[in-house]
Structure 1
């Protein structure tokens, strides 16, 4: 059986994972917001579908058929996770789903003034975004799927470091 990853939100992290897994023989599909990015992703061998808040996947059952792994990287909006808001029932109905990864943030721990945190640290978000991520994590846990939460520190990728942002004004 071919392992299949479906990425809700093919951004920097998800695209890198998709490329790596395709090199290992995985089938990869996922979502983006624009037809231009959809065409670019398809050109790289990724089965891309349009998805945005208020615009769920068309034919979700067909798009998710055979999916064994899901990566969700879309941030919460207005107190809810947009993937679960649109496709909770579809995800719960998947047969053969082995793993769901949710990309969250270390912002769920709050400001620690340089102190260390780890996965056992209490959640104490100090920003609206951190609070929204805590709520989204709870929604994913409540879905009853085989969930793994990854709390990434900061936004990273080309042109996204704090130093580059300061230089850009």
Structure 2
């Protein structure tokens, strides 16, 4: 197929692969950059490479991709690991493109709702203050600024807690009998992995149609929910009656993220709440 659009997904892991499969089915040429490309499906062309290494991968495309999606995940969950992948990794990719005179139509940088520090159940949107307490949120904010100041048209996509096939941590906690207290309320935000990929695909398609994208979007389902409510719903669905003394462990923070901006662009999650998403997961068990 001639003149088909091209996307390069740097850090082509779970969400990146789901995005690539969607776009390939729509006629795109999809290139996936990751250290081990053996798990990539046939519809994604492998670009073996390490984002942490300054040398450009030998399989880097000769022609500029129309879109660049940076969807990497840190190899180690410490400060050095985060900085190496999100800041230095993005800087490396941008440097490789600049050295070759490549300028994609838009860069999408996949970030996290962890850049917000709100912890009292506040509603949060793209205009809310970003004052993270931990190193991960601070480093992601630094990487966001690198993307937005890259000289390329860029949008940051802050995904909430991703769940889906292969991401069953909470199900495991509930099956072990862990619970959470009803008070104080701990709000959580989530997005199914397929919806995360769907949002990225929607943003790319809207950009191709000439829609003016904003610099930031929150990727989250329609219903922030109290963790207590989610756990109790899962206990009933799983018929769990035992209870362990230790509560479900989770990162600190309690906020409610709004997806109004993404929905105003025409995006709708296929799994609007945890109920639909986890029901689908349980059906696959």
Normalization by structure 2: what TM-score?
Answer: 0.52
Q: Which residue does the alignment assign to 1:88? A: 94
Structure-1 residue corresponding to 2:63: 65
Farther-moved stretch of structure 1 (76-85 vs 150-159): 76-85
Q: Distance in 2 between matches of 1:110 and 1:64?
A: 41
Q: CA RMSD in A?
A: 2.3
Matches within 5 A, 1:59-138: 59=58, 62-63=60-61, 65-75=63-73, 77-78=82-83, 81-92=87-98, 93-95=101-103, 97-138=104-145
Q: How many residues get paired?
A: 163
How far apart are 1:82 and its partner, in Å? 3.4
Kindly indicate whether the alpha-carbon contact (under 8 Å) linking 2:116 and 2:129 is maintained by their aligned counterparts in 1: yes
Query: Which residue of the partner structure matches residue 54 of structure 1?
Result: 53
Mapped contact 1:81–1:136 kept (Cα < 8 A): yes
Alignment partner of 2:97: what SS? Answer: helix
TM-superposed CA distance for 1:9, in Å, is 0.9
Q: Which has the larger radius of gyration?
A: 2
* Partner SS state of residue 19, structure 1: helix
Q: 1:30 is matched with which residue?
A: 32
Give the Cα separation in 2 of the matches to 1:33 and 1:10: 9
* TM-score w.r.t. length of structure 1: 0.83
State the partner residue of 1:14: 16
CA shift in 2, pair 1:7/1:153, >3 Å: same
Match of 2:122, SS? coil
Gaps of 5+ in 2: 75-81, 177-285
Kept in 2, the 8 Å contact 1:102–1:150? The answer is yes
Look up the SS of the partner of 1:148 in the other structure. strand
Structure 1: stretches of 5+ with no match in the other structure? none
1:10 Cα deviation after fit:
1.0
**Is residue 101–residue 148 contact of structure 1 (8 Å, CA) maintained in 2?**
yes
Query: Equivalent residue for 2:243?
Result: none
> CA 1:105 to 1:161, structure 2 compared with 1: closer, same or farther past 3 Å?
farther
**Preserved contact between residue 12 and residue 157 of structure 1 (Cα < 8 Å):** no
Following superposition, the deviation at residue 145 of structure 1 comes to 0.9
